[in-house]
Structure 1
Amino acid sequence: MRKTMTASLLVLSTAAMAQPNAATINSGAAALQPKLVEWRRHLHQHPELGNREVQTATYIAAHLKALGIEVREKVGVTGVVGILRGGKPGPVVALRADMDALPVKERVDLPFKSTVTAEYLGQTVPVMHACGHDTHVSILMGTAQLLANMKKDVPGTVVFIFQPAEEGPPGNEEGGAPLMIKEGALDNPKVDAIFGLHINSQTPIGQIKYKPEGTMASSDWFTIKVKGKQTHGSQPWSGVDPIMVSAAIIDGLQTIVSREMELTKAPVVISVGKINSGVRSNIIPEEATMEGTIRTLEPNMQKQLHERMKKLVTTIAEAHGATAEINIDTKTLVTYNNPELTAMMVPSLVKAAGEGNVKLTEWTTGAEDFSYFSDKVPGIFFFLGGMPAGKNPKEAAPHHTPDFYIDDSMLDVGVKAFANLVFDYAALKAPATKKK
C-alpha cells in the first residue's frame, strides 16, 4: 500500500514539475488582454441570435484553424468544436463558451454599441449581447491561443466548445447544449471533465465566485389550460368562470412553495408570467391559459414539485366545476458543480484571480444549459466579475436589460482560470492516468 502511494505521489510530483507554473501561464494570458478586448468588441458590435450565429461561428473557426487546432463546424446547428491534442499524455478536458445574443435594444452609449436587427419569431427585433456571451467567446478564443502556443507542454487533449442558443433556440427548433451533446461534442475524444464560466455585471471586476453542488437553477416552463363554461357576466352562476379558477390555481401554486417544499434545503420559485382569457368585459369566457416558469436547485425537489403541481391544478379546477390540464417543459437542468472536483480545483481559480479574489457564493435562481454538459461529465461552472471597480452592485444593470454593461479590462483573468484548470486537473489526475 505504502509503495503504491509513494509511486502515485511521485507521478503527481513529476507531472506538477513538468508543467508550466502559474506565473508563466498568467503572464501569457495577460499578454493577450489587448486581443481579448478587440475580439470581444467586434463580437459585441455584431451580435447574432440563437441558432443564427453564422458569422460568429465563422469568426471563431477561422481563429482556431489559424492556430493549427482541429475544427468541427455546424455541431448543434452553428456550434464550433476545437480539438487541441497536447504534447504530453493526460486527460481530455473541455472548456465551454456560449455565443448567442438576445432580442434586446442596447441603451448604453459605447463606441462599439450594437445597432443590429434580426428576425425573431416573425418579427424584426434589435439584437444585443445583453448577457455577456461575447466576453465568453473572447475568453475561450484567448485560451485556445494561449494553449496552442504552449502545445508541447499541454497534457492530454483540450476540447473548446463554442455553443449556440444557450438562451434557448427559437420556436420549436432544437439547439443549445442538448443538441451539441447529441451530435457528439463530448465524444471523440471522450471528455473527462468540463469547465465553464459566466461573466457577471454585478460582481466586481477581477473576482471569481463559485459554489459546490447546485449553483444555478433548473428552468421549467409550464402552460395551464383551464376550461369552464361561458356565460353572461351578469349571471356567473349560469357558468363556470375559468378566470376565477385560474386565480385559485395561482394561489394554490404558491402554497406548494410556502407549505410543501423544504426551503431550508434549497429555494423554489413558481411564477406565472402570462394569462390569456376573454374578449369582452361582460362575457365570462369558456377558457383561460396561463404560462409561467419553475426554478429549483435540487433534482429531487424538482421532481416532487412537478408531481404536486399536476395534482393541485387538476384538483382545484375540479373543485370549482372546471377542468384543467398542465404541461411542463424542462428547458435546463440544475447546474451542478461536482463537489469533489470543485474542492480539488479551487486553488487553480486562486492562481488566476489571486488570494482574496475567489469567493464562495450563494446559489442563483437563474438557469444555464451548461447543466446538460455537467450532467454528462463532472464539471464546474463559475462566475467572473465584470462590474467596474468601486461601483455599487445595486446600481449595476442586471443581465438581459438594455443598460447591461461589462468592463472588459480584465478578461485575461478568465483565460488564466481556464488555462490553470487545464494544467492542474491533468496534474491532479496523473496517478489515475498512470494506473490506466
Structure 2
Amino acid sequence: MQRTLLVTSLLLLPLFSHAQSQVDELADALEPQVIEWRHHLHQYPELSNREFKTAEYIASYLNGLGLDVTTGVARTGVVAILDSGKPGPVVALRADMDGLPVPEQNDLPYRSVQTGEFNGQTVPVMHACGHDTHMAMLMGAAKILTDMKDQLSGKVKFIFQPAEEGAPAGEKGGAEIMVQEGVLKSPDVDVIFGLHISANADVGTVRYQPGGTMAAVDPFKIVIKGKQAHGAYPWKSVDPVVTAAQMIMGLQTIVSREVRVIDDAAVVSVGSIHGGNRSNIIPSEVELVGTIRTLDKDARELIYEAMHRKVKGIAESMRAEAELTLPLDYNYPITYNDPALTATMLPTLERTAGKENTILAKAVTGAEDFSFFQEQVPGLYLWVGGKPLDVPEADSPAHHTPEFYVDDEGMKLGVRLLTNLTLDYMQQN
C-alpha cells in the first residue's frame, strides 16, 4: 500500500510542478487586480446580513467569469459553481463578507468612512478583521481556476458567506443558515477549504493545526434570584450579589480543576454583571452573562455538565435560586481540521508557501462559524500572514480594533493556496 502511494505521488509530481508554475504566473499577473478588489471592498464595508452592495459587486464579477451564480443565499450570500465538465470531486472554497461596527483610524487612501445601523444606532463600519482580503483572495482564485478549467476534474463551489461576525439581534445568519439552506448540496460538496488573514503573522507564511484549531463558543446567562433587603440588615436578605460572587469564583474551578488542560485549553469567562441600583439596597436579582470556549468535544460536554452542577449547588448553598441558559442565543461548534485531510494537503501548503514558511501553530480560543461547514464535510481552515515583515509582532494591531491593518502583499499567497489546494485535491481524487 505504501509503495503504491509513493509511486502515485511520484507520477503526480510533474503534474503538480507544471500546475503550480502556471498558478504562480497567473497569481503574479492578477495581483494588482486582487489589490484593487480589496481596496474597493475595504472602502465600502457593510455589516452582517446587510452585505447587499458587497454581494452585487461579487456576483457581477463571478457572472462575468461565466460561472453559475446564485444570490440571496442565507439573505445576502453569493454562491458560484465552476463545472469542469469532467467527473471528479466537488471542492468548496469559502470567504466571509461582513464588516464590523468599528471606526477606522488608519490613514489610508481607501479607508472606510461608511456607516450602518447596529442595535438601533448609526455606527461607523470597518473591515476590522480582514474579510475584505478574504473576498478578494477568493475572487482571485475563481479567476485562476476558471482560466485553468481544462486542468480540473470535478466542480468548484465558491461560497461568499454573510454574517460570520454574528447576525443582528433577532435575526439568523452565517454559515449555519447557509448549511440549512443546502449550500453543501446540489452538487454535494466533498471537501471545503477556507483561510483567515492574520495581522500578527508575517506576510508569506501559512499556519495550520490538525484537529481543533479554533474553539467552540457557547454563550450563557445565569439569573440569580434572592430576597431584597436594606443593606444595613443583610441577615434579612437572600443576597444574590454575594451568591453571584461565589458563583463566578466557583465557575473558574471548572477549568482549573476539572478540565484536563494539558490536553486541551478551555475558557469560562463572565463578561457582564447586572444587579442593584443603590449602595444601601441588597437587590432581589442579579444577572451574569458569559462565554465558554472549548477545543475538544469531551471537554465541551464536561463543562456543560459542570456548569449546571455548579450553578445549582452554589445557589442552594446560599438559599438562592438560579436559572442557567446554555447556550444563550447562538453557539458555534469547534473549528475542526480533519486530521487525514490536513496530512494529505500538507505537501501542498509546503510546496506553495515553502516548507520554512509552513508553520504548525497552536490552536486559538477565538471562534469561527466555518465550523458549521466542517460538521458536514471534511474541512481545512488556515491562517495566512498579513503582517509587514518590518513590523514587530508586538506592534501589530489586533483584530477588531480601529487600527487593524494587513498588508496587500499577504493576499497573493492566499490566492495561490486556495487554487493549489483545489487543483491538488482534484488530481489526488
Residues 14-23 or 142-151, more deviating: 14-23
- The TM-score normalised by the length of structure 2 is 0.96
Matched residue count: 426
Distance in 1 (CA, whole Å) between partners of 2:353 and 2:10 is: 24
Distance in 2 (CA, whole Å) between partners of 1:86 and 1:16 is: 22
Q: Does 1:413 align with 2:416?
A: no
Distance in 1 (CA, whole Å) between partners of 2:22 and 2:15 is: 13
SS of residue in 1 equivalent to 2:293:
strand
Q: Which residue of 2 aligns with 1:428?
A: 428
Cα deviations by residue, 1:314-344 (Å, 9 ceiling, x for unpaired): 1101110100011112521110001111011
Q: Which residue of 1 aligns with 2:271?
A: 273
Cα deviations by residue, 1:5-26 (Å, 9 ceiling, x for unpaired): 86x8887777665675211112
- 2:270–2:290: 8 Å Cα contact kept in structure 1? yes
Distance in 2 (CA, whole Å) between partners of 1:26 and 1:364 is: 31
- 1:16–1:427: 8 Å Cα contact kept in structure 2? no
User: Which amino acid letter does the alignment assign opposite residue 384 of structure 2?
Assistant: L
Describe how 1:76-91 pairs up with structure 2 within 5 A. 76-91=74-89
Residues 63-72 or 342-351, more deviating: 342-351
Cα deviations by residue, 1:67-89 (Å, 9 ceiling, x for unpaired): 00100111111000010001433
- 2:133–2:411: 8 Å Cα contact kept in structure 1? yes
Q: Which residue of 2 aligns with 1:186?
A: 184
Describe how 1:7-406 pairs up with structure 2 within 5 A. 20-329=18-327, 330-406=330-406
Residues 381-390 or 325-334, more deviating: 325-334
Distance in 2 (CA, whole Å) between partners of 1:409 and 1:16 is: 28
Distance in 2 (CA, whole Å) between partners of 1:271 and 1:410 is: 33
Cα deviations by residue, 1:147-186 (Å, 9 ceiling, x for unpaired): 1111122221000000000011011211100100111110
SS of residue in 1 equivalent to 2:138:
helix
Distance in 2 (CA, whole Å) between partners of 1:26 and 1:245 is: 61
SS of residue in 2 equivalent to 1:313:
helix
What is the CA distance between 1:351 and its match in structure 2? 2.2
Cα deviations by residue, 1:179-221 (Å, 9 ceiling, x for unpaired): 0011111000000000000000000011000000010001111
Percent identity (aligned): 50
Distance in 1 (CA, whole Å) between partners of 2:12 and 2:203 is: 32
Q: Which residue of 2 aligns with 1:433?
A: none
Distance in 2 (CA, whole Å) between partners of 1:48 and 1:310 is: 39
Distance in 1 (CA, whole Å) between partners of 2:10 and 2:394 is: 46
Could you say if the C-alpha distance between residues 87 and 18 of structure 1 is closer, same or farther in structure 2, counting changes exceeding 3 Å? farther
Distance in 1 (CA, whole Å) between partners of 2:78 and 2:229 is: 56
SS of residue in 2 equivalent to 1:244:
helix
- 2:152–2:426: 8 Å Cα contact kept in structure 1? no
Could you say if the C-alpha distance between residues 141 and 184 of structure 1 is closer, same or farther in structure 2, counting changes exceeding 3 Å? same
What is the CA distance between 1:30 and its match in structure 2? 1.8
SS of residue in 2 equivalent to 1:248:
helix
Distance in 2 (CA, whole Å) between partners of 1:396 and 1:10 is: 45
Distance in 2 (CA, whole Å) between partners of 1:205 and 1:10 is: 35
Distance in 1 (CA, whole Å) between partners of 2:72 and 2:12 is: 36
User: Which amino acid letter does the alignment assign opposite residue 115 of structure 1?
Assistant: V
User: Which amino acid letter does the alignment assign opposite residue 134 of structure 1?
Assistant: D
Cα deviations by residue, 1:96-127 (Å, 9 ceiling, x for unpaired): 00000111111111111111111111111111
SS of residue in 1 equivalent to 2:410:
coil
Distance in 1 (CA, whole Å) between partners of 2:63 and 2:402 is: 34
User: Which amino acid letter does the alignment assign opposite residue 102 of structure 1?
Assistant: L
- 1:33–1:410: 8 Å Cα contact kept in structure 2? no
- The TM-score normalised by the length of structure 1 is 0.95
What is the CA distance between 1:390 and its match in structure 2? 2.4
Distance in 2 (CA, whole Å) between partners of 1:14 and 1:279 is: 74
SS of residue in 2 equivalent to 1:32:
helix
- 2:167–2:174: 8 Å Cα contact kept in structure 1? yes
- 2:384–2:410: 8 Å Cα contact kept in structure 1? no
Give unmatched runs, 5+ long, in structure 2: none
User: Which amino acid letter does the alignment assign opposite residue 413 of structure 1?
Assistant: L
Q: Which residue of 2 aligns with 1:432?
A: none
Cα deviations by residue, 1:222-266 (Å, 9 ceiling, x for unpaired): 111000000001111101111110010000000111011100110
SS of residue in 2 equivalent to 1:367:
coil
Q: Which residue of 2 aligns with 1:434?
A: none
User: Which amino acid letter does the alignment assign opposite residue 110 of structure 2?
Assistant: F
Distance in 2 (CA, whole Å) between partners of 1:411 and 1:351 is: 17
What is the CA distance between 1:410 and its match in structure 2? 3.2
What is the CA distance between 1:394 and its match in structure 2? 1.4
Residues 81-90 or 141-150, more deviating: 81-90
Distance in 1 (CA, whole Å) between partners of 2:292 and 2:9 is: 44
Distance in 2 (CA, whole Å) between partners of 1:238 and 1:258 is: 35
